[in-house]
Every structure is written in structure tokens, then in C-alpha cells.
Chains A and B, each alone.
Chain A
Amino acid sequence: RKEVEQDPGPFNVPEGATVAFNCTYSNSASQSFFWYRQDCRKEPKLLMSVYSSGNEDGRFTAQLNRASQYISLLIRDSKLSDSATYLCVVIPLTGGGNKLTFGTGTQLKVEL
């Protein structure tokens, strides 16, 4: 089983739609969780951290479910500019020095 799993998509949604992505992780002792955004042929950029209590940043809401070992990202009122690949990132609680473990990413395409 992969450490971090995501549905690769693509998710094709109309502008203004609400879309949600899930990500599951295998290491129950994982300590930190993030969503990154990656545009084609570019480096990943931090979208938001994910906290146990859930957190919101504008149109984006992230939630963590430790019992079921998944995190989610909800995008409301999606814009054309939201089209990108969204990477779920986990820091496992190992002796590995805070290495980021990436999922394969979920591709989002927002269309007119």
C-alpha cells in the first residue's frame, strides 16, 4: 500500500462548482499534513496546512480525519485559475528528519 494515495482524476468541473478531493495515508503516526498545488511543469507550492480542527482559507477548506486516516480539500466557487494538480503531502512520524511524502496528485480542470 502506498504511503499516500490520491485519486489522480482528472476532475472536470464547471466554473463556480464546488469540488472535493480526498487523500488517504497509511502511517497512523503521521504528524503533519499539507495540500500543495502544482501547475504543469512547475514546482509544488504550498496551498495550506491541514489542522486537526479543520481550517479554511478563503474558498479552500481542509479537514483531517485521523480515525479514518484521510485528509480532504474542498474548493468552493472554483475558478479557471484553480486548474492544477493538487498534491496531498504527509510528514510521517519516523526518524527520517521531517521528510515530505507526496501523493501522486489529483488533477483539477475548471472549465467555462
Chain B
Amino acid sequence: GAVVSQHPSRVICKSGTSVKIECRSLDFQATTMFWYRQFPKQSLMLMATSNEGSKATYEQGVEKDKFLINHASLTLSTLTVTSAHPEDSSFYICSARGQEPNYGYTFGSGTRLTVV
């Protein structure tokens, strides 16, 4: 079945630094990538949607200059958290949607970010 590899699975960084999270679709072409954030005991909240080769569409309240999304190829999308602060500590998950017949949503395994 479709697999999305997400790295790193866990990262601890200092406040003010940037962190890059990668999601790769291993056996299908991800035409659309969704990036979610999940705080403890809360639902997954969509941050942005990106289509290969075009700019990401951000949800209301998500700062596009802070959360940089790049979807340069059909198999790779990255999320960079710039100038991270402790309030950015969260579980970040990507979800890829492919072309027919892979119309389903395949999730990465998530990245637990802790900013200290």
C-alpha cells in the first residue's frame, strides 16, 4: 500500500532556531500534501495544503512566513518551522493524497517537536 515516510520522528531544538520536517511518498506520487498540527488532547488541525509546484494555501491563523512549506516534487514536501518558540511544540503530521488510483489519504508517522 501507499507509504509516506516522515522525518525526523522526534526533534528537540532551542528557541529561535529553525527545524525542517520532511515527508516523502515512497511508492506513489503525492499531488497534494496536507500539513497538520496536533496539540495534546486536541484534534488534528490543518495548517496548510500544498500542491506540487505551487505555493501552499494556509489556513486562517497560520503564519506562512513562520511555517514554510515546499512541495518541489511529487514525492517530497517539507515544512520548516522558523524561529521556533516553546508554543510551537506540538505533533506535526503530513498527509499525502495521490493521483488515481491512490486517491486515499496516507499519513506520515508524525514529528514530535519540542522547543526548549
Is the CB–CB distance between B44 and A46 below 8 Å? no
Interface positions of B from 3 to 50, Cβ below 8 Å from A? 6, 32, 34, 36, 41-46, 49
Is the CB–CB distance between A99 and B34 below 8 Å? yes
Quick one: which of A8, A41, A43, A100 contacts B41, CB cutoff 8 A?
Answer: A8
| Beta-carbon nearest neighbor of B49 in chain A | A97
The answer to whether the Cβ of B58 comes within 8 Å of any Cβ in the partner chain is no
Is the CB–CB distance between A100 and B95 below 8 Å? yes
CB neighbours of B49 from chain A (8 A): 96-97, 99
Q: B94-113 interface mask toward A, CB cutoff 8 Å, 1 = contact, 0 = none?
A: 01010000001101111010
Known: A41-B112, A46-B104, A100-B46. 5 other contacts (CB 8 A): A43-B6, A43-B107, A100-B34, A100-B44, A102-B43
B interface with A by C-beta (< 8 Å)? 6, 32, 34, 36, 41-46, 49, 57, 91, 93, 95, 97, 104-105, 107-110, 112
